[in-house]
Chain A
Amino acid sequence: DAKTTQPTSMDCAEGRAANLPCNHSTISGNEYVYWYRQIHSQGPQYIIHGLKNNETNEMASLIITEDRKSSTLILPHATLRDTAVYYCIVRIKAAGNKLTFGGGTRVLVKP
């Protein structure tokens, strides 16, 4: 699985959009970008994934650059409950269940 680089931590204001960057410069053509988050004392929660097109669901939007070397997870209106560690993971979709988690970004939403 390709290695990802994320900022260690970031703060954002409640009600504002939170933009979480992820670099994956060694991504290969058949690797997808997955985002999970982990709220304190809970298991990781799936957010969204994509290959090359931008994706949106009820939780977030995923913007992938044209060269696919980086992506941004957007939480459109951050709430205090969005405070969590966010993990960006790159993997081949058919690679079974193995997810390789890095250190993630610790996001603190402030009132």
Chain B
Amino acid sequence: DAGVTQSPTHLIKTRGQHVTLRCSPISGHKSVSWYQQVLGQGPQFIFQYYEKEERGRGNFPDRFSARQFPNYSSELNVNALLLGDSALYLCASRPGTINQPQHFGDGTRLSIL
């Protein structure tokens, strides 16, 4: 079975631009979360979506937004990119039941010049 897939794997942008990152969860998984991992640190929670509704938000500015589609895939959007947004962006999915752990994709490496 395919795991969580994210695209693109790498991306280079310049300050002020916007970016859209995509995530396809494991088949049958209805809940998706996004994390940001700055080099040398652990991942930081950004958003959780379940059944297309936002169910949780971390301490990130409004420049960060996300949505989930009817097929449970998800997009993370970041506007007005800053140098500090350079990071690995991770997507995780789980079935939706609280008894199941999350499974992560290998992320999108975003570099801001």
**Would you list which residues of chain B between 56 and 113 have a CB under 8 Å from chain A?**
56, 58, 90, 92, 94, 98-99, 101-107
From A21-29, A71-79, A94-102, the one touching the partner chain is A94-102
Chain B contact residues, CB within 8 Å of chain A = 4, 31, 33, 35, 41-45, 48, 50, 55-56, 58, 90, 92, 94, 98-99, 101-107
Q: Is the CB of A43 within 8 A of B33?
A: no
Chain A contact residues, CB within 8 Å of chain B = 34, 41-46, 49, 87, 93-94, 96-104
Contacts of B50 in A (CB 8 A): 96
A99 to chain B: closest CB distance in Å? 7
Contacts of A100 in B (CB 8 A): 45
Q: Is the CB of B58 within 8 A of A43?
A: no
Q: With A96-B56, A101-B43 in contact, do A43 and B4 touch (Cβ < 8 Å)?
A: yes
Closest to A34 in B: B101
A101 to B104, CA, bound (A): 14
Closest to A42 in B: B106
A75 to chain B: closest CB distance in Å? 18
A102 to B92, CA, bound (A): 17
